[in-house]
């Protein structure tokens, strides 16, 4: 299909090389699907694949790399699988473990595990990707409302996501002269495996002014907007997609 048939906006994405961490489920899967749907070549990595991702692998220009992104060498290996050029990097991988026993129960190993996956996986991927990026490239990091709404049950996770938000802003300033943009999307409770039960979903939705959880597609739409040409002069921003959970003041 020609660029004229696709339309100018969609044609911009065709042939772009995108790397997505944690693309087998939830928000990451929605981002992979969105990128593939507009003609980007997508390389994604996670510990395991999924039936939904396998469908994309069969139908679109999507490559899956099995990696444990807590391994210090894994993020660079994933980026390397994309080749010599990376146009878009979406750092989505992350997880949280509730700590009902409180702060003193969170061990050094717990802190290290949280930071390895929620911060260092992104740091290592960015370190590798920026060497392959040219003007017009973009990075989008998926942070969390917990970066600004600390929860004692998720103390290490919130701290890790706050660190990622800070790195996002610092790197945006450093890379702006090179024409590389760095932004973040901050989801609140979303319909992912973290909120797997009806009870958990209802409890989370009750806190949100909209009365419902965000869908992975809605977070992916924000990622696409920040990664794409309509945000060409936006960098160092954090877009919140949380149904109004964090009040606008």
- Show which residues are catalytic: 157
Please give the structure tokens belonging to residue 80: 């390397």
Give me the residues paired with residue 184 across strands. 141, 238
Alpha carbons 199 and 71: distance in angstroms, whole number = 34
Determine the length of the chain.
249
Q: What are phi and psi of 194, to 5 degrees?
A: -60, -35
For 157, half-sphere exposure in the C-beta direction (CA atoms, 13 angstrom radius) is 18
Give me the residues paired with residue 96 across strands. none
SS3 17: strand
Alpha carbons 89 and 61: distance in angstroms, whole number = 16
């Amino acid at each position: 299909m020609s660029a004229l048939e696709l339309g100018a906006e969609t044609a911009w994405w065709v042939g772009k090389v995108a790397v997505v961490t944690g693309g087998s489920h939830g928000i990451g899967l929605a981002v992979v699907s969105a990128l593939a749907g507009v003609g980007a070549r997508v390389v994604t990595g996670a510990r395991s694949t999924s039936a939904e991702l396998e469908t994309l692998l069969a139908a679109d220009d999507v490559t899956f790399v099995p990696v444990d992104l807590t391994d210090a060498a894994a993020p660079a290996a994933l980026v390397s699988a994309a080749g010599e050029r990376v146009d878009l990097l979406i750092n989505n991988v992350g997880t949280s473990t509730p700590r009902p026993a409180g702060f003193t129960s969170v061990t050094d190993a717990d802190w290290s595990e949280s930071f390895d996956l929620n911060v260092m996986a992104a740091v290592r991927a960015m370190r590798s990707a920026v060497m392959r990026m040219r003007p017009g490239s973009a990075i989008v990091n998926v942070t969390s409302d917990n970066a600004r709404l600390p929860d004692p049950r998720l103390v290490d996770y919130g701290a890790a996501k706050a660190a990622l938000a800070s790195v996002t802003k610092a790197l945006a300033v450093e890379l702006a002269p090179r024409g590389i943009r760095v932004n973040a999307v901050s989801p609140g409770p979303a319909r992912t495996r973290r909120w797997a039960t009806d009870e958990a979903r209802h409890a989370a939705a009750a806190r949100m002014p909209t009365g419902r959880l965000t869908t992975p597609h809605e977070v992916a739409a924000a990622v696409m907007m920040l990664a794409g040409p309509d945000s060409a002069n936006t960098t160092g921003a954090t877009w919140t997609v949380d149904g109004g959970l964090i009040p606008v003041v």
